[in-house]
Structure 1
Amino acid sequence: MTSVDAASGRGRDATPGDGSPTVGTLLELDVGPVAHGGHCVARHEGRVVFVRHALPGERVRARVTEGGEDARFLRADAVEVLAASSQRVTPPCPYAHPGGCGGCDWQHAAPAYTRELKAAVVAEQLHRLAGLDREVAVEPVPGDQQGLRWRTRVEFAVDERGRAGLRPHRSHDVIPVEDCLIATRAVVDSGVLQAEWEGCSAVDTVAPGGRAPAVTVPVPRGRADRRGMPVPTVRERVTTPTWSGEFDVSARGFWQVHVGAAATFVEHVLRELAPREGERALDLYCGVGLFAAALADAVGPSGSVRAVEADQRAVVDARANLADRPQVRVRRSRVDREVAMLARRGGTTDLVVLDPPRTGAGRAVVRDVAALRPRLVAYVACDPAALARDLAYAREAGYGIRSLRAFDAFPMTHHVECIAVLEPHPTSD
């Protein structure tokens, strides 16, 4: 037997007829398949239990952390492994245990096996939400060290004493830490975890590409104090075998956090879309202009790129980053409004890149994008459930999957990035 919870105390054991489990109850569970969200599925007296810190096929003793008599399901932490998976490893991080830091979901599994778990989640979401039976291998992204030292942007929470740390799973508590093993050395070596941040609710630490030093941005505790808060800009460099670019990004703005993600995604999208001289492209949810810049260089001065983004700070950065590419027009607008307007006017385009937030693009945006009749659409998705729903909407609109790849851009966590390339009149699903 293996204990995975040395610090959280003991709850009461549950026995048949003991009544509905309450928070703190210990249950012996046979762990079933992985589920979306960083946990596995088990059952207790017919009720689903979502178990963290477990692996499929294990038998564990788990403490209930959420739920009760009227709850549809329970949440629990595996605090003791009675029969271990062959894929279980000792977590490299001392804070990765029940009641500890909730930032990583799979530190107790071998890195290659975590990609298998994520692939199973992607396949299950595609089947359940889109009716697609498709196997996907989750591929590693260059730049991390066996799943560690990859995160270039970290928002550390700050406790009442001004110490920076991280939060437990589904908790507002703060656990002060001396290191974060998934953060790059530049982030940790910035001194953010040794400094005191009195009066702050959080502190962002950003280690941009290249040799520039890490930047720390204290976030004041009061909402009113954040108005006009100075936020520095960092420069990110993206280099692929076929293209390179530089981007100024607000230190609190959106940028891919894995050191190798931006280059990997741009290279794949360019290869799959194969933009041609003179083509027209749409970059929707364009952020600071990463895909727009690569598309603009590919379609050349005779082509055009329309880049759409709602966030004001990102639009300011995008316009500056794309100023030397006159074939690009950056529009500050909600994507749904912009594509609806283009569709109503009977507009068309050759290529589309969709990189929506975690909630996905949604039925209306997918429908209106299809109405523009692009020859190819690259959909960059950070949530497999949202992707699956939008793929179902795309099929209704006459577009199917040409290719689908998944990337482990968030090692040790349950998150996975997928890029689906869609074409009209699908040849295969």
Structure 2
Amino acid sequence: MSRTPRRRKARGRSRVGERFEAVVGPVAHGGHCIVRVTTDPSVEPAETRVVFTRHAIPGERVLLEITEGTEGDRFWRGDAVEVLEPSPDRVPAPCRYAGPGRCGGCDFQHVSLPAQRELKAAVVREQLSRLAHLDVPVVVEPVAGDRDGLRWRTRVQYAEDEQGRRGMRLHRSRVVIPVDDCLIAREDAREPSPELVHESVLGRDFVVSGEGFWQVHPGAPRVLVETVLEQLDPRPGEKVLDLYAGVGLFAAFLAERVGERGRVVAVEGSRVACGHARTNLGEFGRAVAVEAGAVDKVLATAYDEPFDLVVLDPPREGARRPVVEQVVDRAPRAVAYVACDPAALARDVAYFAEHGYALKGLRAFDLFPMTHHVECVALLERPA
């Protein structure tokens, strides 16, 4: 099946389809490994190119095939299409749709679960070292709710091919691979829909739109709430900002902790989610305020007052500098940063450091087994 990569300006002759034998280097952020191939051994020094290679494990000797790249590109992309010297961490992929030229949904089905977590930990460590200049030990923890890394996804969105068959897309492509059973999806997984869904976390019920955001690993909401509360240790009477608050998951448990004398302000960009948050948080009355709007714009015009604690749970692109600066302007004693992208987290940790906030704790969770994604919760504190 031909691959249809994303369009970009060609920079010379295409190298797509060419094959190279090479030893796989370290894992990189994004579900691939770094491989350096010799492109022209006749020149001195030999001409080499970096290839971001999927379906490989560090240390293996593989035959890789270029899937994206031209002469003038700084780097190419490729797939390990044959393993010549396998890693001891290599296992048969449980899903028959995983592998080169197949479904692009999973990155690590060929890697044992413990080794998957080690790869993810290496990525988090590397991002914090490179972007935040921190040497931090990282352990990616398993979370109850999957079956040996499978059957955890509670929501799944399928594509449809030209024959009307449901499937998943090839990596970095619009080509649809027919899939009759996605093994990381639960048997009762729902597709997005406008209908309301009721979720329960630690004995508390939440209403959320079937199309709205909710963690897709069944163990995620509980472990994230428990971790945030443990890190922040909210005290009665404190004031808390819950940013990118969604339907009020963190705000509800924070409101319980700070009590009637405290206050929680939840800021969320989705007006639909804000409506559900007001329902979910209604029992707390005026002790909780729900503000609809982009976080940076809301903080630029409102709530310009001291807050004791802040929870940040931004989308994949992270909070970014304007939000970080507005947070530190409120002078919280502690910030809990929930991150699904280690690069964005490391960048924002560096921004916090510019204002004296140090990384005091970090936990990482394997909420997306078989993929390269990892969820982190970082604790940032200002000096006493």
Give the TM bin, normalised by the shorter chain. over 0.9
Give how far 1:184 is off.
Answer: 0.9
1:178-225 deviation line (CA, Å, top 9, x unaligned): 1111011212xxxxxxxxxxxxxxxxx25xxxxxxxxx63xxxxxxxx
2:69 paired residue among 60, 67, 74: 67
| Conserved 8 A contact 1:23-1:66 | yes
1:337 equivalent to 2:330? Answer: no
Judge conservation of contact 2:154–2:218 (CA < 8 Å) in 1.
Answer: yes
Q: Provide, for residues 41-64 of structure 1, a one-character-per-residue CA deviation record: whole Å limited to 9, x for no partner.
A: 011122100110000000100111
Amino acid at match of 1:42: V
The residue aligned with 2:311 is 353
Indicate which of 193, 215, 222 corresponds to 1:263: 222
Gaps (5+ residues) in structure 1? Answer: 1-6, 10-18, 188-204, 207-215, 218-230
Contact 1:256 1:262 (8 Å CA) reproduced: yes
State the match for 2:320 in structure 1.
362
Matched residue of 1:298: which SS?
helix
Displacement of 1:316: 1.3
1:48 aligned onto 2:6: no
Match of 2:236 among 267, 274, 277: 277
For 1:235, the aligned partner's letter is H
SS of the residue corresponding to residue 325 of structure 1 reads helix
Paired with 2:53 and 2:174, the residues of 1 have a C-alpha distance of: 20
Residue aligning to 2:41: none
CA distance in 2, matches of 1:157, 1:238: 30
Q: 1:21 to 1:160 in 2, by over 3 A?
A: closer
**One-letter code aligned to 1:237:** S
**Structure 2 counterpart SS, 1:368:** helix
1:198 is aligned to none
The whole-number CA distance in structure 1 between the counterparts of 2:316 and 2:377 is: 13
Maintained 8 Å contact 2:169/2:176: yes
1:16-415 aligned at under 5 Å gives the runs 22-45=15-38, 46-187=48-189, 205-206=190-191, 217=193, 231-239=194-202, 244-326=203-285, 327-342=287-302, 345=304, 347-415=305-373
One-letter amino acid matched to 2:277: A
Q: Distance in 1 between matches of 2:164 and 2:218?
A: 29
Q: What SS does the corresponding residue of 1:37 show, helix, strand or coil? A: coil
Deviations 1:76-113 (A, max 9, x none): 00010000000000000000010111110000000010
Alpha-carbon shift at residue 342 of structure 1 (Å): 4.5
The gaps in structure 2 that reach 5 residues or longer are: 4-11, 39-47
TM-score of the aligned structures, taking structure 2 as reference length: 0.92
Q: Deviations over 1:359-401 (max 9, x none)?
A: 0001111111011111111000000000000000000011011
Misfit runs of 4+, over 3 Å? none
Residue 320 of structure 1 aligns to a residue in which SS? helix
Shift of 1:20: 7.2
Number of positions where the alignment pairs a residue of Structure 1 with one of Structure 2: 366
CA distance in structure 1 between the partners assigned to 2:185 and 2:339 by the alignment: 22
Shift of 1:160: 2.6
Instruction: For 1:384, give the aligned amino acid.
Output: P
Counterpart CA distance in 2 for 1:157 and 1:100 is 14
* Per-residue deviation, residues 326-346 of structure 1 (Å, max 9, x unmatched): 111000011112223347x4x
Structure 2: which amino acid aligns with 1:416? V
Verify the 8 A CA contact 2:238 2:308 in the aligned structure 1: yes
Cα drift, residue 264 of structure 1: 0.4
- Provide the C-alpha distance between the structure 2 equivalents of 1:21 and 1:232, rounded to a whole number of angstroms: 47
Partner of 1:15: none
Residue aligning to 1:224: none
Matched-pair contact (CA < 8 Å) for 1:8–1:98: no
1:425 CA drift (Å): 2.0
Which whole-Å CA distance do the structure 1 matches of 2:337 and 2:121 have between them?
A: 18
1:304 partner amino acid = R
Structure 2: how far apart are the matches of 1:236 and 1:121? 32
SS of equivalent to 1:302:
coil
Partner residue, 2:7: none
Q: Which SS does the other structure have where 2:358 is aligned?
A: strand
Question: Taking CA–CA contacts closer than 8 Å with sequence separation of 6 or more, which of the two structures ends up with the larger relative contact order?
Answer: 2
